[in-house]
Structure 1
Amino acid sequence: MRIVVVGGSGHIGTYLVPRLVRAGHEVVNISRGQRAAYAESPEWAQVEQVTADRERQDAEGVFGDTVAALRPDAVVDLVCFTPESAAALVERLRGETGHLLHCGTVWRYGVSHRSPIREGEGTPPFGEYGTQKDAIARMLKAETESGGLATTTLHPGHIVGPGWHPIGPLGNLDPEVWRTLSAGHTLRIPGIGAEHMHHVHADDVAQGFANAIERPEAASGEDFHLVAPAAMNVRGLAEAAASWFGRTADLEPVTWDEFRAGTTPEHADASWEHLSRNHVLSIDKARALLGYEPAHQSDAAILEAVRWLVDHDRLDVARPLVV
């Protein structure tokens, strides 16, 4: 097939585009052309590169024309964030493209009431990002159910991989967390550390998209979660991370007010956004219909990211990794 990937130079596309090339597809990557993929791969030499500013072209009402002009059999949209943008692309591709695959998010759900969450059974989202992504997923599902364009929405967890900082044990990007754990110092955690996060390796997300492309009959009109086989809570992830440096985690439970007082507003807000949701997602549907089998557990994926950061002097830690 001829497959157009919108935003293929990012976290997911770094792994998805080479997968599609290896599977024998003709691949076109649409991006702003401002950065290369996070990992080198010889398959990129076979990829057609198209430079386009999605935001600007959406404002001009021509982005759908840019995509349609490439005459794709399938389109993978990794960088759509508003219902208006999604609707415009659907309207243009309807009747011309066989399959549109959209990257959603597990933040389409709000706080957890029961776990694991199956597709469509979580609580209503909160915050602009999750609310808009949920609206897109619902619109796409209705489009396919009404006999329009065949669509699939795949919802990744917290995407992890070498080349960027992972969401850490406290649900934020604070690099001091890793230094504290590697030094064996006390890490203050909000509450008792029982809140979960559900990470996923970027290559496992790519696997899910690739499988959905290969199984359009099973994927059409459906939503799927793409996460690691198991979620991890704050305590578990902190203890695992400390062990990577030959340490035992020393965790001090504090109130949220105390936690906020000891960090920056940015890190505190990020922690609240991740931990208050307390997400644990089911992948039973993706396994059954797409043959999805993630190769990375959450902690192993995060370790891979941390190792890359340490090896490339992007993360200051107190002692070397021992695993």
Structure 2
Amino acid sequence: MRVFVTGASGWIGSATVPHLLAAGHEVVGLARSDASADRLAVLGAAAHRGSLDDLESLRAGARQADAVIHLAFKHDFSDYAGAGRTERAVVQAFVDELAGTGRSLLLASGLAGAPGRVLTERDASAFSGPDAPRGGSEGLALDAAARGVAPVALRFAATVHGVGDHGFVAQLVRIARERGVSGYVGDGTSRWPAVHVGDAGRVVALALDKAPGGTVVHAVGEEGVRHREMAEAIGRVVGVPVASVDPADAAEHFGWLGGFWGMDAVASSELTRELLGWEPAGPTLLEDLAAGAYDHVARG
């Protein structure tokens, strides 16, 4: 198949493209710059110039493809509501373009669980409507099954870790270095699910080939890693003490990350493993930290 991939040169996308190519697909990645196009060429993918703000370029990419994998997102936490509006507009453009074709639309989504409960693939997204986080795009896509689209929601663990990561864990390492202490919120018993980036890329490629329309896929290698254990591992990497941060001070201590760090979210991938025949093979989050995957951030 000819597959149009947004975010193909990004963190998860660059781990996904090799698996798509190995499965025999032709990959065309969205590229907003020459640097992105060059990265795609190195990966073995073609470039389609455009951006998330250029909806016509996205529609054109989808029109010329047999399937769309939407992995890009504006990670601007200073205007998270604006990022959500952009996300909804992008998904709506894809839905409108693919309507009536029966083609697949796979899109990245997030995991938000309830404390003390394990989120499964059968649970509906907690984010619904245009004003919800990520613009409620998962529900928008899944509802498109009624319009002749084959949607698949790719819910990624909060921590997609590995060498080169600049996401949440990297930010926690940076904050620990700058603050001189590796902090966790409250008693540190909150948990985040995690998955190695290589495993995440593999599950996306498997979902394209095996997941029927309307499926929810959980890219989760570990159901929940306790925040105190993460903070302790980060403390060892950075060489700083570990301490609890009062929930009332989380926003001041962790900045924009304070709104997420401390939230409890546990998720299972049992149904995904059964459906796709997928088993995580990469290192765990704590193993990655111990092996030096985040040393580049620890050193500044």
Checking the alignment, whether the CA contact within 8 Å between 2:48 and 2:61 is kept in structure 1 is no
Are positions 1:315 and 2:273 aligned together? no
Separation (CA, whole Å) in 2 of partners of 1:309 and 1:253: 22
Read off the aligned partner of 2:99 and give its amino acid letter. Answer: R
Read off the aligned partner of 1:161 and give its amino acid letter. Answer: G
Separation (CA, whole Å) in 2 of partners of 1:172 and 1:127: 29
Read off the aligned partner of 1:53 and give its amino acid letter. Answer: S
**For 1:163-220, what per-residue CA distance to the aligned partner results, in whole angstroms no more than 9, with x for missing partners?**
233423xx9535141588xxxx7645331111112222222211111011111xx431
- SS of 2:222 mapped into structure 1: coil
Checking the alignment, whether the CA contact within 8 Å between 1:116 and 1:281 is kept in structure 2 is yes
Separation (CA, whole Å) in 1 of partners of 2:105 and 2:249: 46
Deviation at residue 239 of structure 1 after TM alignment:
2.9
Name the residue aligned to 1:189: 184
Name the residue aligned to 2:97: 92
Deviation at residue 99 of structure 1 after TM alignment:
1.1
Name the residue aligned to 2:259: 272
Unpaired segments ≥5 residues, structure 2:
74-83
Name the residue aligned to 2:134: 133
Larger proportion of strand: 2
| Residue of structure 2 aligned with 1:227, choices 220, 237, 240 | 220
Read off the aligned partner of 2:172 and give its amino acid letter. Answer: L
Cα-Cα RMSD: 3.3
Q: TM-score, normalised by structure 2?
A: 0.80
Identity score, percent:
22
Are the structure 2 counterparts of residues 31 and 252 from structure 1 closer, same or farther at C-alpha, using a change threshold of 3 Å?
Answer: same
Checking the alignment, whether the CA contact within 8 Å between 1:7 and 1:77 is kept in structure 2 is yes
Q: TM-score, normalised by structure 1?
A: 0.75
Query: How many equivalent pairs are there?
Result: 286
Are positions 1:202 and 2:201 aligned together? no
Checking the alignment, whether the CA contact within 8 Å between 2:8 and 2:71 is kept in structure 1 is yes
Checking the alignment, whether the CA contact within 8 Å between 2:40 and 2:46 is kept in structure 1 is no
Checking the alignment, whether the CA contact within 8 Å between 1:113 and 1:123 is kept in structure 2 is no
Deviation at residue 48 of structure 1 after TM alignment:
1.4
Checking the alignment, whether the CA contact within 8 Å between 1:224 and 1:286 is kept in structure 2 is yes
Larger radius of gyration: 1
Checking the alignment, whether the CA contact within 8 Å between 1:200 and 1:301 is kept in structure 2 is no
Separation (CA, whole Å) in 2 of partners of 1:123 and 1:19: 27
Deviation at residue 256 of structure 1 after TM alignment:
2.5
Separation (CA, whole Å) in 1 of partners of 2:49 and 2:110: 25
Are positions 1:239 and 2:232 aligned together? yes
Unpaired segments ≥5 residues, structure 1:
318-323
Q: How does 1:1-323 map to 2 (within 5 A)?
A: 1-36=1-36, 44=43, 46-55=44-53, 57-58=54-55, 62-70=56-64, 72-79=65-72, 81=84, 82-96=87-101, 98-106=103-111, 109=112, 112-119=114-121, 121=123, 124-125=126-127, 131-133=132-134, 135-144=136-145, 146=146, 148-157=148-157, 158-168=159-169, 172-173=171-172, 175-178=174-177, 187-215=182-210, 218-242=211-235, 250-258=241-249, 263=253, 267-276=254-263, 278-296=264-282, 297-303=284-290, 307-310=292-295, 313-316=296-299
Name the residue aligned to 1:320: none
